[in-house]
């Protein structure tokens, strides 16, 4: 069923028919000793906040669902990706993917369902092997929950007793760091795509390797600015990275490729043809 046609989950006291279906499913599941897999799926961030917040939510959820195997995953910018989380759930009788982000973009949800399908076909070949894998279900997003407005109303009501921002902001709130007004002395930008499709292909694991490799090279910390981007669009060539001002697009990257690009292109100015999928502008000198 497409995301556009998804209906909100019925409240706990919904029609007897829905309750009977749930009871029947629970009865069937009780005969399967394997745990239920649950993936709490969020959007990533460049810092630790997204991971910390999802982990903080997953812990009490594990207490509420003690027989479930609950893992976190990110649609973009962080790991584990959805395919990695699906693997972490195995073995299990069923996998529930719970999207926990706003807005609930239909295009992204359709893509994530395709990711799950592709993961299944990468795990097994042949009809019997595929049938042995657990079914994967995408639960309705939080924006589809009928109880959400009531929860927000309670939050707003309680927030009226909280202190004014004058009591919570730092004393020097009107001052920004001097560096925020200084153009950094970089000669190159390395733009690593951490959009949903590149993340599903393993890009999130390449980001720490890229930044650590640059730090290890000393002078490259100031000579190259590594930046995360959203989708760069030729997704089937991912993971992707663009180096400017050279105009070199690198694709299908892995850890070895990142190390090679840092050592050869970013440190010594020798672009690498074996990873290049596109270039803009004039052919650079020294293309390896």
**Strand ranges across the sheet with 224-229:** 224-229, 188-193, 241-244, 248-250, 276-279
What was the pLDDT predicted at 218? 84
**Strand ranges across the sheet with 68-74:** 68-74, 36-42, 94-99, 136-138
Q: What angle do CA 109, 194, 46 make, to 5 degrees?
A: 105
Least Cα distance to 98 among 194, 152, 89 occurs for: 89
Contact 238, 198 (CB under 8 A): yes
Contact 108, 128 (CB under 8 A): no
Query: H or E stretch including 172?
Result: none
Least Cα distance to 101 among 76, 133, 129 occurs for: 76
Contact 3, 106 (CB under 8 A): yes
What was the pLDDT predicted at 2? 43
Whole-number Å distance between alpha carbons of 68 and 64:
9
On average, the pLDDT of the chain sits at 89
Strands 36-42 and 68-74: parallel
Whole-number Å distance between alpha carbons of 273 and 283:
11
Six-digit token pair at 128? 């019997």
Least Cα distance to 193 among 106, 112, 118, 252 occurs for: 252
- For 105-126, write each residue's pLDDT tens digit: 999 999 999 999 999 999 988 8
What was the pLDDT predicted at 16? 41
- For 69-83, write each residue's pLDDT tens digit: 999 999 999 999 999
Six-digit token pair at 194? 């951490």
What was the pLDDT predicted at 286? 54
Strands 276-279 and 248-250: antiparallel
**pLDDT band, very low/low/confident/very high, at 287 (cuts 50, 70, 90):** low
- For 124-183, write each residue's pLDDT tens digit: 888 888 899 999 999 999 999 999 999 999 999 999 999 999 999 998 899 999 989 999
- For 197-254, write each residue's pLDDT tens digit: 999 999 999 999 999 999 998 889 889 999 999 999 999 999 999 999 999 999 999 9
> Which long-range contacts (C-beta less than 8 Å, at least 24 apart) are formed by 264-273?
264/288, 266/188, 266/190, 266/214, 266/217, 266/220, 266/223, 266/224, 267/217, 267/220, 271/243, 271/246
What was the pLDDT predicted at 125? 83
Least Cα distance to 231 among 266, 260, 261, 192 occurs for: 192
Please compute the mean of the pLDDT values over residues 84-108 and round it to a whole number: 96
């Amino acid at each position: 069923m497409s995301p556009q046609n998804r209906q909100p989950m019925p409240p706990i006291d919904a029609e007897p028919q829905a309750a009977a279906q749930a009871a029947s499913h629970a009865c069937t599941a009780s005969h399967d000793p394997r745990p239920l897999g649950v993936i709490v799926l969020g959007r990533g961030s460049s810092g630790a906040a997204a991971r910390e917040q999802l982990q903080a939510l997953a812990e009490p959820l594990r207490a509420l669902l003690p027989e479930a195997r609950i893992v976190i995953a990110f649609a973009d910018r962080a790991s584990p990706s959805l395919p990695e989380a699906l693997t972490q759930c195995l073995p299990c009788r069923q996998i529930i993917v719970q999207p926990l982000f706003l807005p609930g973009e239909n295009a992204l949800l359709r893509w994530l369902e395709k990711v799950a399908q592709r993961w299944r076909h990468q795990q097994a070949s042949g009809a019997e092997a595929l049938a042995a894998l657990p079914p994967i279900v995408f639960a309705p997003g939080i924006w589809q929950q009928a109880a959400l407005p009531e929860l927000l109303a309670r939050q707003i009501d309680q927030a009226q007793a909280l202190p004014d921002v004058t009591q919570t902001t730092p004393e020097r709130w009107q001052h920004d760091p001097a560096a925020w007004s200084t153009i950094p002395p970089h000669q190159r930008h390395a733009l690593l795509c951490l959009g949903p499709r590149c993340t599903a292909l393993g890009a999130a694991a390449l980001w720490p390797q890229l930044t650590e490799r640059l730090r290890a090279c000393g002078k490259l910390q100031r000579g190259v600015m590594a930046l995360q981007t959203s989708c760069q669009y030729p997704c089937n060539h991912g993971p992707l990275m663009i180096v400017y001002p050279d105009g070199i697009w690198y694709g299908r990257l892995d850890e070895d490729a990142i190390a090679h690009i840092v050592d050869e292109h970013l440190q010594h100015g020798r672009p690498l043809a074996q990873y290049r999928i596109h270039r803009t502008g004039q052919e650079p000198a020294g293309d390896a």
